Amino acid sequence: MHRVPTRSRRLLLAAAAALLTLGVATPVATAAPEASLVTNPAQYVDPMIGTGNGGEQVGQINNFPGPAVPFGMLQWSPDTPGAYAGYSHDSDQIRGFSLTHASVGCSQFGDVPILPVVGDVGTAPWDRTEKFSHDTEVARTGEYGVTLADSGVRADLTSATRTGLAALAFPATDKAQLLVKAGASLNGNQAAAVRTIGDHEVVGSASTGQFCGHQNSYTIYYALQFDRPFTAAGGWDGTTVGSPGTSIDVSSPHAGGYLTFDTRANQVLHVKVAISFVSTEGAQRNMAAEIPGWDLAPVEAAARKQWDGVLSRIQVGGGTADQLKTFYTSLYHSLLYPTTFSDVDGRYPGFDAKVHTVSGHQRVQYANYSLWDTYRCLAALQALLLPDVGSDLAQSLVNDAGQFGWLPKWPVMNGESGVMNGDNVTPFLASLHAFGAQDFDTATALKYMLKGATTPAPPDFPYQEREGVVDYQNFGYVPNDRAEQGHVRTGASQTLEYAVDDFAISQFAGAIGQRGTAHTYAGRSQNWQNIFDGGTGYLRPKDSTGAFPAGPGFVAPPPGQFGQNGFDEGNAAQYNYLVPQNMAGLITAMGGPAAVNQRADAFFQLLNTGPNLPNQWSGNEPDFATPWLYDYTGRPWQTQEVVRRIETQLFSATPNGEPGNDDLGAQSSWYVWAALGLYPVTPGTTDLAFASPLFPKAVLHLANGRSITIDAPAAAADHPYVTGLSVDGKRWDRTYLPPSALRTGATLKFDLSAQAGSWGATSAPPSYPEGQVAAIGYTSPTGQVRTAQGASFPATIGVVSAGGRSDPVRWKAQPPAGITVTPSSGVLRPGSSAGVTVAVAADAPSGYHPVPVGFTDAAGHALPGGTITVTVPAADGKATTCDTLGASDTECGLQRLDNGDGHSTPVTVAGRSGRSTSDGYLYFGVTDDLVPGGTQYTATIDVDYLDQGTGTWNVQYDSSDPNQPYKGSSSVTNTGTGTWKTATFTLPDAGFGNRENGSADFRLSVGAGFVVSRVHVSVSGGNVLALHLCPGD
pLDDT digits (tens, 9 = 90+) for 346-383: 999 999 999 999 999 999 999 999 999 999 999 999 99
pLDDT of the residue at 8: 34
Q: What is the pTM of this model?
A: 0.91
Q: How many residues does the chain have?
A: 1033
**Each residue's pLDDT tens digit, 765-809:** 999 999 999 999 999 999 999 999 999 999 999 999 998 788 999
At 733, the pLDDT band (50, 70, 90 cuts) reads very high
Give the span between the Cα atoms of 979 and 946, in whole angstroms.
Answer: 6
Helix 636-650 to helix 666-676 angle (10° resolution) is 130
> Residue 878 corresponds to which amino acid?
K
Q: Is the peptide bond before 41 cis (omega within 30 degrees of 0)?
A: no
Judged against a pLDDT cut of 90, whether residue 616 lies above it is answered with yes
Give the span between the Cα atoms of 243 and 951, in whole angstroms.
Answer: 43
> Do the Cβ atoms of 527 and 498 come closer than 8 Å?
yes
> Do the Cβ atoms of 210 and 187 come closer than 8 Å?
yes
- Which residues contact residue 497 at a Cβ distance below 8 angstroms, ignoring those fewer than 6 apart? 421, 422, 423, 424, 578
Cα separation values, 107 from 73, 149, 590, 666, 1013, Å = 18, 27, 40, 18, 35
At 992, the pLDDT band (50, 70, 90 cuts) reads very high
Give the span between the Cα atoms of 942 and 674, in whole angstroms.
Answer: 57
Q: Is the peptide bond before 962 cis (omega within 30 degrees of 0)?
A: no
- With residue 551 as reference, give the H or E element that holds it: none
Give the span between the Cα atoms of 750 and 725, in whole angstroms.
Answer: 5
pLDDT of the residue at 593: 98
Judged against a pLDDT cut of 60, whether residue 116 lies above it is answered with yes
What SS3 state is found at 223? strand
**Each residue's pLDDT tens digit, 21-46:** 333 333 334 445 678 999 999 999 99
Give the span between the Cα atoms of 570 and 580, in whole angstroms.
Answer: 17
High-pLDDT (> 70) share of the chain, %? 96
Give the span between the Cα atoms of 316 and 305, in whole angstroms.
Answer: 18
pLDDT of the residue at 900: 76
- Which residues contact residue 871 at a Cβ distance below 8 angstroms, ignoring those fewer than 6 apart? 784, 785, 786, 787, 847, 848, 849, 1025, 1027
pLDDT of the residue at 499: 99
High-pLDDT (> 90) share of the chain, %? 90
Cα separation values, 11 from 2, 57, 316, 491, 995, Å = 15, 5, 34, 21, 18
Between 154 and 483, where is the model more confident? 154
Identify which of 378, 362, 143, 176 has the alpha carbon closest to the alpha carbon of residue 265: 176
- Which residues contact residue 611 at a Cβ distance below 8 angstroms, ignoring those fewer than 6 apart? 10, 11, 12, 557, 562, 563, 564, 569, 570, 571, 574, 617, 620
Give the span between the Cα atoms of 757 and 692, in whole angstroms.
Answer: 13
At 1032, the pLDDT band (50, 70, 90 cuts) reads confident
Judged against a pLDDT cut of 90, whether residue 197 lies above it is answered with yes
Give the span between the Cα atoms of 116 and 132, in whole angstroms.
Answer: 13
Judged against a pLDDT cut of 90, whether residue 695 lies above it is answered with yes
Judged against a pLDDT cut of 90, whether residue 666 lies above it is answered with yes
pLDDT of the residue at 54: 75
Give the span between the Cα atoms of 239 and 648, in whole angstroms.
Answer: 51
pLDDT of the residue at 56: 63
pLDDT of the residue at 537: 98
Q: Taking the alpha carbons of 291, 297, 301, 303 in that order, is the dihedral positive or negative?
A: positive
Judged against a pLDDT cut of 70, whether residue 152 lies above it is answered with yes
Judged against a pLDDT cut of 60, whether residue 485 lies above it is answered with yes
Give the span between the Cα atoms of 285 and 367, in whole angstroms.
Answer: 20
Give the span between the Cα atoms of 503 and 430, in whole angstroms.
Answer: 9
pLDDT of the residue at 215: 84
pLDDT of the residue at 753: 98
Residue 87: exposure state from Cβ atoms within 10 A (0-12, 13-18, ≥19): buried
Domains identified in the chain and CATH numbers: 1-50+317-337+586-767 (3.30.2080.10), 62-308 (2.70.98.10), 775-872 (2.60.40.10), 878-1020 (2.60.120.260)
Q: What average pLDDT does the segment 721-735 reach?
A: 98
> Do the Cβ atoms of 113 and 181 come closer than 8 Å?
yes
- Which residues contact residue 968 at a Cβ distance below 8 angstroms, ignoring those fewer than 6 apart? 954, 955, 956, 1005
Q: What average pLDDT does the segment 3-7 reach?
A: 34
pLDDT of the residue at 21: 37
